[in-house]
Amino acid sequence: MNQMTNDITSNSTPTPTSPVEPRRFTKPHRVAFIQSSWHREIVEACRLAFLKEAAAQGIPESQVGLFEVPGAYEIPLHAQLLAKTGRYTAIVAAALVVDGGIYRHEFVASTVINALMQVQLQTEIPIFSAVLTPQQFHEHAAHVDFFRQHFATKGVEVAQACVNTLLSLDHLGSQVVAGLD
């Protein structure tokens, strides 16, 4: 779960920390990006930042499949089915889980994260989560703006984690093929 600070007045815009030249992969990668449609105007900031940073890091937008599901709870099944297709070398999930009281949304977020970990381990496809659960969220402009910016930052971070993991797995795969430890 992600706990937010009470400071909702920050107007900082995330800046990618991309290298000058895109990363070199040993094979082409295709990434699935699954996002919840609840609070779409906030969650899409994650997707847009992810696409921009991933492209800067060597995964062009044309190699990212975009999928939308009704809510966070539907993400794990979608991720599992996408992983089983063999078309994707990584999957990213993004959602903002709010409403229903503190215990309900924390339960939903925890359930989603645990299910995504299960899918990742069963399919051996890395899954990255930008499924966030703020302690406090209210549908007013200050919160919406704050969380939109926060999701943009998370989009950059999840793109970097995805690229670094895929590079690491490429390297690990090369070692396994070569019979190295």
Residues carrying an active site annotation = 104
To the nearest 10°, report the CA torsion of 73, 61, 53, 46: -30
Pinpoint the alpha helices (H) of the chain: 40-56, 75-85, 101-123, 141-178
Amino acid occupying residue 70: P
The CA distance from 126 to 109, in Å, is: 19
Residue 69, CA atoms < 13 Å, CB-side half-sphere: 21
CB 46 within 8 A of CB 150: no
CA angle 11, 136, 98 (to 5 degrees): 105
Q: Sheet harboring 64-69: ordered strands across? A: 64-69, 31-36, 90-96, 127-132
